[in-house]
A and B are shown apart, each in its own frame.
Chain A
Amino acid sequence: MRNFSSRESGGFSLLEVLFALGIIATVGISLIGLIPSGFDTVRRAGDLSVIARIVQTISSDALSSDWEEYAEQFSSNGTMVRYFDDQGNALERSGLRNHIYTASIELAGASTSASAASATSLPGDEKMRIDRSRDLRRILIRVTNVPGELGGEALKGGENSGRISNHFVIVPNLNPIEKVEAP
């Protein structure tokens, strides 16, 4: 009686277990497999928002800065790197614990020779030989979410270079400027 009852109430049949394992192996794992992609989407969403915010910060910085002083922040090849935390707040330097995003800011045309046409040109400018380099500035912004110092590497075209978001802003010179070039 005890045996019977113990046999009646104890354990799962092998078949049952196999079946369950099968379901878990097929459906459960594939479902679990979707979770990272969901998280990835969330992260991408986060990246999008934060990068948008970073671009906005950089562009409003460029818009509100003094034209000359802003250019002085750039290195000789016309680039500048800035660092941001996970919320898109600017950091003073790279390598801090909360350094998540790295942005490379490039003055378009700055690395080319002085005689090159302006970095930003409107339709017809080339024909008229109009140079807008003193009153219109195109800033190329590349932001990566490769955290920490690797971010800088990524922007230089390292391993993670695929995770780069490209943007641009065109900023007018609101300051007095001496003279504009003639056509």
Chain B
Amino acid sequence: MKRAQKTSRKKRLLEFPLVLRDKGIALIVVLFLVAMLGLLVIAILTISTNELESARKYADGIEVRQLNETAVSLAVSQIRLGTGQFDSVSGREVWASQPGAVRVYKEKGDFLLGVKLYSDSEMTVTEEPALASDVPPANWTSERFENRYVDLNEPVVRKEQIYFPIVDPYAFEYGVEGFDFDAGAVDGARKTGDRMDYRLPMPVEWLYVLQDGELGTLDENGKFVGKKSATEENPIVGRVAFWADDESSKINVNTASEPTFWDTPRCINQKDMDYGKFQPGRNEYQRYPGHPATTALSPVLFPDSKGALTAASKEKIYDLIPRIGSGGTRGGTARPGQPITTDVDRLFATIDEFIFQPDRERAELISPEALRVAGFFLTANSRAPELNPLGKPKIAMWPLGDEPYYPRTAFDNLMAFCSTSGGHLYAVQRNDAKSPSADWENISRNQELYRWLVRDLNENVPGWGGTFADKWEEDLPQVALGVFDYIRSTNLRDMAPMINPDGSRRARRFYASGGQVSPIRNEEKLMGFGRFFTFSEFGLHFICCGDGTEGIQPEGGDEKKLRDDEKLIEVGFLMEPFSPSMGWPPLYNDFSVRVTGLDGFEIEQVEVSDGGARSTSTESMEFPERKTFRPGGLSRSWHGRAWGGSSGIRTFVARNNYPFITKRLRVKGDSIKFSGGSVTVEIFQGTEPLDEKKIQTIELEIPDGEFPMPELVKGGTTRFRGTGGTGTSFWWNIRTRYANAAQTPHAPGNEYSETKRRWPKDRGGNSPGFKKGGVFRAEDVVRSFVPWHGDYRLVAAKHVVPDTVFRPLPNYDDRTTNFDHLFADTQGTHLLYGYSNEPGLTSKDEDETQLTPAVYHYSRLPDVPPGTGSRNLYGDFDNGVAQIGDGGYINRPDEGNVATRGQYAYFAWNYRSPTYVNFSPNRMIPSPGMLGSLPAGVLRERPWETLLFRPQEGHPGNEDPPDHLFMEYFWMPVVEPYAISVPFATSGKINMNYQMVPFTYIKRATGLHGVLKSEEPLAIPNDMSQIYKLWDHETSDHPWLPNQSRGNLDPETRKKWDDAAKGRVAMRKPVDPEETLKQFEEKFAANSLFKYPSEICELHLVRDEESLEKYRDGTFWQGHVVTGENVKERSYANIYPRLTTRSSVFRVHTRVEVIRKGRQSDPGQFDPDMDTIVGRYRGSTMIERYVNPTADHPDFADPANEKEDLSDQWQFRLLENRRFSP
């Protein structure tokens, strides 16, 4: 019962609701299920749609990136096209890059092809003007150009901030130097008003891409134009736009810093005196001439800071820049005590790292505005190729030890690394400075390089046409050997520690501790310069030993005694050593000279028979027939200096055994009737006249002549400045005179009627005048023979100097002129009496007699024969170092002198070897621009014509190919502070071709501003020509400077000197970039580019407050005639290595869009209403073109590989990919 009740209750419980719900329940259930199903379906559909959408986005994202890669690929292809060699074009092409384009020129220089590095409907042009004129249409935003142009520099505005992908136009207001744009050139450009409204559109054409990758552009009707037409099956799927910037147009933050100019002191002015005083220390790269660290960052970071950057603020900049240290001379204001310790910061991998470096000090130093605009002007990755015009390696300007026989330093090893390709070294090696042949014969690589260079110079210079062989004719191998020897004779006293090939240290060995290097001689009997002495002058010195009343009398009693009309004379044969390798370190001579044939000289003599009968006959003067003489140290005398140049005769003859003296000769009458002859002078390295050590033979043909009769000296001399007096008889013996010639020389005194030319008395009250060491007295007769042209470089580089070179001076046969000589002293032309080329005084033709028409101080006359001015047509002479007079020198590299006596090293007389504190290869040699003083006409005997590395109208060096292109065959690798140079490339160079296509309305010459900022060219005004070389030895003596002189120096001269020394006369001035760059603008306006960086040598470096016009019409240099070519060319030598015309790194700015065509839209058109842009990408990719240095390149110096070059070895890599997503 209970159970039944329970069951029924359960049933009821179960049934009751059913009872209540059974009507329509099925429907409800079904509806419920359907609803659930619906939800499920909706969920599935929603999820799947979302999935599809995100998959599309993903796919579009990938597609847009691939499209971006396409844009980069196109840019790479364009660069490849422009930088390769064209096998169907005869000859070798040369290319030059600029932001947005590469231009290719044929061998003869004609334009071949313009390759645009931006998207355009014509990606190449064959007419050069078509490049610069391809400016985007001003109304590029109009309907006509709709969908055809896109602004690559369109900003993104976000929260009161505006971000530009390429260039922020605020840079103009901020004042970045060298930057400007024409806001009226294209629609939308704006540089005034609210900063948020500044715009600088950079529109380029869209390239539309079909589904199969075919490319085209839209025509005026908006229709796709390409190789194929767009179809429904192959519609437009995207569009790309790009523009490649040239990274070498920007300043590299890894190599540049802030310069403090330094140069070898060249004349009296405050800056040069300070250069001697505060020489750059080791690791002070920012002061090494020509080093990339001398390129300034201030045009971007501190614009218009001219003069405002203090030494202290520069020090802060150095702290920011990797591997550049502070300290040293502290901006040229102190002596460096220790080498600068450079930091070991790693280099900036990208410019962003520089901009965003978390450095507090930098935050104080560099304004946020500077950083905001920096990206367009600074880079961390610029590099330029270092190949010669024929696409082969360049030869390094740094000599290397011939390992393992001669050790190398760490610097040398880096140089060797940079100069090696495929295991073949392209640098001069050396081992033996003494031998004129060992470094040639024993080092076969040197011969190979020389022959290769000569072969290359027989080829047309691509882009110019013409060969150096045609231009220099037989002088070509001479020039090539001259360069070889110039390099070999560089760095004679290397202060860096030497390392064995196994890495162990070894004792230092100087290549030439005495500074003397025997000129190399090859099998063609051509000779380099080495660093050696030749002779610039020979002479006959006649003195009277006795006459009928006084003096030395002949032996043999009264019969033989001189009668009133008779005289006893002695004659000395004088030789003046000269070295064109003037400068430091000291040149300590180690040579001997053998003279043959002097015995052929005869004069009319009086023969006295035993009975006293007189007969006259022409007899031998009894010079020795053949004698070898080894002079003592040429610098070891009062006023002796070891800097080369004209070394005077005093120290040469100052030996007890000077052999070239006649016996005493009895003569009579008023004149000497001289009969000359042939003489051979041979110069040998070392003490013995060994054939294998013979350096040079000079043939002389001494003509007959009739000279005045010397008079007997009738008085001695008083003591003066540390040297005792002499009695009268001292002067009657030529051997005595010569033996004492190292004493105090002649100090101009009363014998010069001009009061300004007299020296003051010394502290003891002793008067100047003829002194013990003076060799000549006014009663003597001197005749001399000099190279007819006065350019002693032509003599120095000849193994055999023919007898036509040395000729007598103009007054040789003048019986009224006692002195006709150019014997000088190392310290000046006034210390030997009778110097005979003083305009207006001893020589006529005032304007053309001296080296230049300037009025020189009598003590600093160039040692050249009268009439030199008429031959020195182009100003191809060198200014000596510091106070050293000007002449025909070869601009040898300055190895430094840290002597501090009298405070001013270089100017003071003494020398102290630089230590490791001052040593650096890059301080010594900035570039091949140093070669500019090598003569181009040694064999053709074309005097005063050297390699032309500066603008100079009318100079033969301008003939095609211009001389400056010769520089392109050499390079100086930059190995400090890190390997800025690698084989075939150097970082941090600035492209001269800053013209930006197609955006020619934007000017970015900032990089060149950075380069030019480092230079302070020297120009010596004509009114300083009397004092620019004056030092303490003029009227006074050490330690007084001319402005402090107690003597009777002309007050006007003293004032001028004081003005120069105190900086009141600006002889050095910074370069005015705007005025200088006018020449660049003219070049661009003429639709041309610079093909080689050496073309900088064709442009004037206009200095502050000067006008280009005056340089062009010649009036500027007419007002600065004493400025030597080495000084004029120095700035070019410093600038050239920091310039390029070919970039290896490009940043491709891209903008790409993936398009999905609407169903109804025309597949060949872009309709913004119907088509959808489903993917967008903006960014930039950096591309580098490089040669693999470790590849197995052939030996280009091998004649078998004559046709080989590196043009097919270039490859590309993508360095950095950056998306623009501010």
Known A124-B122, A166-B212; judge A23-B55 contact (CB<8 A). no
A1-56 interface with B by 8 A CB criterion: 5, 8-9, 12, 16-17, 19-20, 23-24, 27-28, 31-32, 34-35, 37-42, 44-49, 51-53, 55-56
- A140 and B213: CB pair below 8 A? yes
- A182 and B121: CB pair below 8 A? no
- B1210 and A49: CB pair below 8 A? no
Of the 9-residue stretches A71-79, A149-157, A169-177, which lies at the interface with chain B?
Answer: A169-177
How long is the Cα–Cα vector from A53 to B59 in the complex, in angstroms? 8
How long is the Cα–Cα vector from A182 to B121 in the complex, in angstroms? 19
Contacts of B73 in A (CB 8 A): 136, 170-172
How long is the Cα–Cα vector from A95 to B336 in the complex, in angstroms? 77
- B34 and A27: CB pair below 8 A? yes
* Distance from B55 Cβ to chain A, minimum over Cβ atoms (Å): 4
Contacts of B18 in A (CB 8 A): 9
Closest B residue to A174 by beta carbon equals B1212
- A123 and B120: CB pair below 8 A? yes
* Distance from B465 Cβ to chain A, minimum over Cβ atoms (Å): 18
A59 at the interface (CB under 8 A from B): yes
Closest B residue to A108 by beta carbon equals B213
Known A9-B18, A178-B1208; judge A123-B217 contact (CB<8 A). yes
- B41 and A35: CB pair below 8 A? yes
B211 at the interface (CB under 8 A from A): yes
B1083 at the interface (CB under 8 A from A): no
Closest B residue to A49 by beta carbon equals B55
How long is the Cα–Cα vector from A65 to B530 in the complex, in angstroms? 53
- A182 and B89: CB pair below 8 A? yes
- B69 and A176: CB pair below 8 A? no
A134-175 interface with B by 8 A CB criterion: 135-136, 138-140, 166-175
How long is the Cα–Cα vector from A122 to B87 in the complex, in angstroms? 21
- B1211 and A59: CB pair below 8 A? no
How long is the Cα–Cα vector from A173 to B76 in the complex, in angstroms? 8
A82 at the interface (CB under 8 A from B): no
Of the 9-residue stretches B25-33, B503-511, B950-958, B1070-1078, which lies at the interface with chain A?
Answer: B25-33
Question: Quick one: which of B33, B1207, B1209 contacts A28, CB cutoff 8 A?
Answer: B33
What 1/0 mask marks residues of chain B from 54 to 77 whose CB sits below 8 Å from any chain A CB? Answer: 111011001100100110111011
Contacts of A96 in B (CB 8 A): none
B438 at the interface (CB under 8 A from A): no
How long is the Cα–Cα vector from A20 to B1048 in the complex, in angstroms? 134
Chain A: interface residue count, which band? 35 or more
- A135 and B81: CB pair below 8 A? yes
Known A55-B62, A125-B123, A169-B213; judge A182-B87 contact (CB<8 A). yes
- B34 and A123: CB pair below 8 A? no
Question: Quick one: which of B62, B81, B89 contacts A132, CB cutoff 8 A?
Answer: B81
B215 at the interface (CB under 8 A from A): yes
Question: Quick one: which of B77, B84, B89 contacts A122, CB cutoff 8 A?
Answer: B77
How long is the Cα–Cα vector from A127 to B125 in the complex, in angstroms? 10
B977 at the interface (CB under 8 A from A): no
Closest B residue to A43 by beta carbon equals B48
How many residues of B are counted as interface, with CB atoms below 8 angstroms from the partner's CB atoms?
Answer: 76
Contacts of A38 in B (CB 8 A): 41, 44-45, 47-48
How long is the Cα–Cα vector from A23 to B27 in the complex, in angstroms? 8
Contacts of A92 in B (CB 8 A): none
Known A169-B70, A181-B88; judge A9-B34 contact (CB<8 A). no
- B74 and A170: CB pair below 8 A? yes
* Distance from B626 Cβ to chain A, minimum over Cβ atoms (Å): 64
How long is the Cα–Cα vector from A130 to B126 in the complex, in angstroms? 12
Known A59-B69, A175-B1211; judge A122-B52 contact (CB<8 A). no
What 1/0 mask marks residues of chain B from 188 to 222 whose CB sits below 8 Å from any chain A CB? Answer: 00000000000000000001000111011100000
A126 at the interface (CB under 8 A from B): yes
- B113 and A183: CB pair below 8 A? yes
A89 at the interface (CB under 8 A from B): no
How long is the Cα–Cα vector from A146 to B593 in the complex, in angstroms? 97
- B34 and A24: CB pair below 8 A? yes
How long is the Cα–Cα vector from A20 to B216 in the complex, in angstroms? 61
Closest A residue to B17 by beta carbon equals A9
What 1/0 mask marks residues of chain A from 94 to 118 whose CB sits below 8 Å from any chain B CB? Answer: 0000000000000010000000010
How long is the Cα–Cα vector from A121 to B217 in the complex, in angstroms? 12
What 1/0 mask marks residues of chain B from 288 to 312 whose CB sits below 8 Å from any chain A CB? Answer: 0000000000000000000000000
Contacts of B556 in A (CB 8 A): none
- 12 contacting pairs across A/B (C-beta < 8 A): A9-B19, A9-B22, A24-B33, A41-B45, A55-B62, A120-B215, A140-B213, A169-B66, A170-B70, A172-B1212, A173-B80, A180-B84
- What are the 4 closest A-B residue pairs judged by CB atoms, nearest first? A168-B213, A41-B48, A182-B86, A38-B44
Which residues does B use to contact A, with CB under 8 Å? Answer: 15, 18-19, 22, 24-27, 29-31, 33-34, 37-38, 40-41, 44-45, 47-49, 51-56, 58-59, 62-63, 66, 69-70, 72-74, 76-78, 80-81, 84-89, 113, 120-124, 126, 207, 211-213, 215-217, 225-227, 1187-1188, 1207-1214
> Given A28-B34, A52-B62, A117-B227, list of 4 further CB < 8 A pairs?
A39-B48, A48-B55, A49-B55, A138-B213
